[in-house]
């Protein structure tokens, strides 16, 4: 599908061997077959020329028939061999749901809009590691055992990689950056990006968060609630707010948010949203990407093929990627010029300014090229936008449904100064508990996090599961190429970690740091929302601070209630979103508490 891009280096493409090695290894044999066909055909041509030696009836068809027979036998052999590989596996003893289809296994149930429910069933009905069926009976694992997650993300991290297919997708969309790199290249990005997210820099970003929060209050909400309580669509408000947050504090460029009901004026916001939706429409083609890149290594040729392919979604992706790429490249050029000419505000606090300033002085092995900076810009915007708006949607939906909790939280906020600094924000106990509990019970990126075993490995288990044959399994042997779903939502609701009330929304569980006795490798408090280990979310403190600032500013000014009862939380892509009749929407009743500024 998204064959557009510029930066793809052939050698970096990895194949999902478990799914593809069979077919891949057959390719030389297919070429051989083609060779035989050519031989037969050329032989047939030459017989035609021997006029004086007439052939018996059907003789001229014989080579063709032989070819067809050989092809059929060979193809049958290949398909049989592929299926045989699936017939028995070392993972068969791991319990899991029956396959729904020979072709797609459980994947449709797992990934459709209501996939959350199916995943919830897995977590309720089976052990902390569940086997599900993939394409043509490929065995995959759904994992939320704390010891197994620790092994995948920390202890034995090099044995597992982010899905090569998704890496390939993100490299094609944005180029080489933190989300699309592995090994040393990834470590380089982490090393140069981490300081931008360190506490002293985050402290400097808080005024930027307030600026955006107050703009949301004054421009997006207040004008609509002047005549009295109003139902407003908070999904669109928070989409604009989260993009504004990342543009202001992430890349240091701001724009005026649009008013709900009017057409959005910012093309970048539209482009980002449209990109994710459109890519998801072609999700079934993602597994083919590493192949496409391998066999069509030239971006210009891939582009020509896209232009010729009559798939409107593909053309849309091409145009969006072009647009985002141009915008990010322009941004990087302007920033570099400003740094070189000394015009960049020395107090600029946004992530990209900090990154580009430190990049200008970085040692050569850490230095990022302009292309890498362009990729980083797009990736930071991508990673920090929909995630934040999904979290804001949940926070305000839950506060609207829990009026007592909302009143308690508002009282805490009103008792504090209007603009809080870093330490005050992290110390408001009710605010801290609400944000932690929302992120625990409803992780915004879930359950769409994948890894693939790059060599044979063993998954340790914190408690044994009972295998299909009735024996207790204390660990699971994982063959190379196995796809693994990191079941973060299931981990966050694991009764063995959180107790019998794990499924309840109870912010008070965070009182006195009760929820904090370490049992998992999550970045804090046993939650896997931001993952753990070397690829954990680099922006997790940034994200929590922005959620806190928005909550403080909006709860001071408004009361939220009565979310539309038709709202359903669905997962059309990787991020669950509120929907009514298949439209993304979150109507909540809002009334003004303060005089407008």
List residues near ligand HEM by CB under 6 A.
162, 178-179, 190, 250, 351, 379-380, 383-384, 387-388, 391, 443-445, 449, 529-531, 535, 537-539, 542-543
- Which pair of structure tokens corresponds to residue 537? 């979310």
Q: How far is the CB of 459 from ligand HEM (least distance, A)?
A: 18
Q: Give the angle subtended at the CA of 528 by the CAs of 544 and 98, to the nearest 5°.
A: 140
| Residue 122 DSSP SS3 | helix
Q: Which residues contact 444 (CB under 8 A, 6 or more apart)?
A: 386, 387, 388, 390, 391, 394, 529, 575, 576
Per DSSP, 516 falls in state G
Least distance in angstroms from the C-beta of 38 to ligand HEM: 46
Distance CA 461, CA 147 (A): 5
Q: Judged by CB, which is closer to ligand HEM: 391, or 487? A: 391
- Closest contact distance (angstroms) between CB of 116 and ligand HEM is 15
Give the nearest distance from C-beta 162 to ligand HEM in angstroms.
Answer: 6
Alpha helices (runs of H) in 88-114, residue ranges in sequence order? 107-111
Give the residue among 244, 271, 269, 268 at the shortest CA–CA distance from 255.
244
Residue whose CB is less far from ligand HEM, 116 or 530 = 530
Give the full edge-to-edge strand order of the sheet including 483-486: 129-133, 139-143, 483-486, 449-453, 160-161
User: What pairs with residue 242 in β-bridges?
Assistant: none
Give the pair of three-digit tokens for residue 199. 């506490």
Q: Which is nearer to ligand HEM, 192 or 405 (CB)?
A: 192
Closest of 317, 325, 321 to residue 1, by C-alpha: 317
Helix (H) or strand (E) run with residue 191 in it: helix 183-193
CB of 488 to ligand HEM, least distance (A): 7
End-to-end CA, the chain: 49
| Shortest Cβ 579–ligand HEM spacing (Å) | 19
- Measure Cα distances from 31 to 35, 65, 172, 496 in Å: 6, 19, 29, 54
Nearer to ligand HEM, 465 or 521 (CB): 521
- Residues linked to residue 570 through DSSP beta bridges, in sequence order: 577
Q: How far is the CB of 145 from ligand HEM (least distance, A)?
A: 18
Q: Which is nearer to ligand HEM, 4 or 351 (CB)?
A: 351
* Residue ranges with strand state E in 420-502: 449-453, 457-466, 472-478, 483-486
From edge to edge, which strands make up the β-sheet containing 558-561? 230-233, 587-592, 558-561
Report the C-alpha gap between 576 and 311 in whole angstroms. Answer: 27
What burial letters (b/e) apply to 382-408, b meaning 16+ CB within 10 Å? bbbbbbbbbbbbbbbbbbbeeeebbee
Long-range contacts of 265-269 (CB under 8 A, 24+ apart): 267/323, 268/243, 268/323, 268/324, 268/327, 268/381, 269/239, 269/240, 269/243
Q: Cβ closer to ligand HEM: 26 or 538?
A: 538
Confirm whether residue 430 is marked as ligand binding.
no
The per-residue DSSP string of 369-436 comes to PHHHHHHHHHHHHHHHHHHHHHHHHHHHHHHHH-HHHHHHHHHHHHTS-SS--HHHHHH-HHHHHHHH
d(CA 6, CA 177): 13
Which residue's Cβ lies closest to ligand HEM?
539
Q: Which is nearer to ligand HEM, 234 or 542 (CB)?
A: 542
In the complex with ligand HEM, the residue whose CB is nearer, 441 or 465, is 441
By beta-carbon proximity to ligand HEM, the closer residue of 26 and 178 is: 178
What is the rounded distance in angstroms from the CA atom of residue 327 to the CA atom of residue 5? 15
Answer whether 475's CB lies under 8 Å from 458's CB.
Answer: yes
Which of 109, 389 has the CB closer to ligand HEM?
A: 389
Instruction: Return the number of the residue (13 or 249) whose C-beta is nearest ligand HEM.
Output: 249
CA-based angle 410:440:438, to the nearest 5? 25
Q: How far is the CB of 433 from ligand HEM (least distance, A)?
A: 16
> Both tokens of residue 409?
């939280």
DSSP 320-355: HHHHHHHHHHHHHHHHHHHHHTT-S-TT--SHHHHH
Q: Minimal distance in Å, beta carbon 410 to ligand HEM?
A: 22
Instruction: Name the minimum Å distance from CB 193 to ligand HEM.
Output: 7
The least CB distance from residue 184 to ligand HEM, in Å, is 13
Q: Cβ closer to ligand HEM: 162 or 233?
A: 162
Q: Which neighbouring-strand residues pair with 558?
A: 592
The binding site for heme comprises: 537
The binding site comprises: 537
């Amino acid at each position: 599908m998204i064959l557009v891009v510029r930066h793809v280096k052939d050698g970096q493409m990895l194949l999902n061997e478990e799914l593809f090695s069979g077919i891949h290894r057959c390719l030389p044999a297919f070429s051989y077959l083609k060779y035989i066909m050519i031989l037969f055909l050329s032989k047939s041509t030459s017989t035609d020329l021997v006029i004086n030696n007439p052939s018996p009836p059907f003789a001229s068809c014989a080579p063709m028939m032989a070819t067809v027979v050989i092809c059929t036998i060979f193809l049958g052999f290949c398909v049989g061999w592929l299926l045989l590989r699936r017939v028995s596996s070392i993972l068969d003893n791991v319990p899991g749901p029956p396959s729904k289809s020979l072709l797609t296994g459980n994947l449709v149930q797992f990934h459709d809009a209501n996939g959350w429910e199916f995943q919830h069933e897995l977590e309720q009905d089976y052990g902390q590691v569940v086997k599900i069926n993939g394409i043509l009976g490929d065995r995959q694992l759904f994992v939320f055992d704390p010891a197994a997650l620790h092994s995948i993300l920390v202890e034995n991290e090099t044995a597992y990689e982010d899905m090569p297919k998704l890496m390939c997708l993100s490299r094609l969309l944005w180029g080489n950056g933190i989300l699309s790199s592995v090994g040393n290249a990834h470590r380089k990005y982490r090393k140069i990006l981490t300081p931008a997210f360190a506490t002293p820099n985050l402290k400097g970003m808080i005024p930027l968060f307030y600026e955006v929060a107050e703009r949301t209050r004054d421009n997006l909400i207040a004008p609509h609630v002047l005549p009295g309580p109003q139902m407003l669509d908070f999904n669109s408000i928070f989409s604009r707010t989260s993009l504004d947050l990342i543009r202001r504090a992430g890349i240091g460029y701001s724009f005026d948010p649009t008013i709900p009901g009017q057409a959005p004026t910012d093309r970048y916001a539209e482009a980002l949203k449209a990109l994710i939706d459109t890519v998801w429409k072609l999700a079934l083609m993602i597994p083919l990407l590493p192949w496409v890149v391998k066999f069509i290594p030239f971006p210009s040729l891939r582009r020509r093929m896209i232009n010729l392919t009559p798939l409107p979604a593909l053309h849309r992706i091409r145009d969006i990627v072009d647009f985002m790429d141009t915008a990010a490249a322009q941004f990087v050029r302007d920033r570099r010029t400003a740094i070189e000419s000394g015009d960049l505000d020395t107090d600029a606090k946004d992530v990209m300014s900090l990154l580009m300033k430190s990049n200008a002085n970085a040692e050569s092995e850490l230095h990022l090229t302009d292309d890498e900076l362009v990729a980083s810009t797009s990736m930071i915007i991508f990673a920090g936008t929909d995630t934040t708006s999904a979290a804001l949607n949940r926070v305000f939906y839950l506060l609207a449904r829990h009026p007592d909790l909302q009143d308690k939280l508002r009282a805490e906020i009103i008792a504090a100064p209007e603009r809080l600094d870093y330490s005050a924000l992290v110390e408001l106990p009710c605010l801290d508990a609400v944000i932690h509990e929302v992120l625990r019970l409803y992780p915004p990126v879930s359950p769409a996090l994948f890894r693939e075993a790059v060599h044979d490995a063993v998954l340790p288990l914190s408690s044994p599961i009972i295998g299909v044959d009735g024996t207790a399994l204390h660990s699971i042997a994982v063959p190379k190429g196995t796809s693994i779903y990191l079941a973060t939502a299931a981990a966050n609701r694991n009764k063995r970690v959180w107790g019998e009330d794990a499924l309840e929304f109870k912010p008070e569980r965070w009182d006195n740091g009760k929820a904090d006795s370490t049992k998992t490798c999550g970045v804090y408090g046993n939650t896997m929302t931001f993952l753990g280990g070397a690829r954990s979310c680099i922006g997790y403190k940034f994200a929590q601070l922005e959620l806190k600032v928005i909550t403080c500013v909006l709860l001071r000014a408004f009361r939220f209630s009565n979310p539309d009862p038709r709202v359903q939380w669905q997962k059309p892509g990787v991020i669950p979103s509120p929907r009514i009749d298949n439209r993304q929407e979150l109507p909540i009743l809002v009334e003004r508490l303060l005089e407008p500024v």
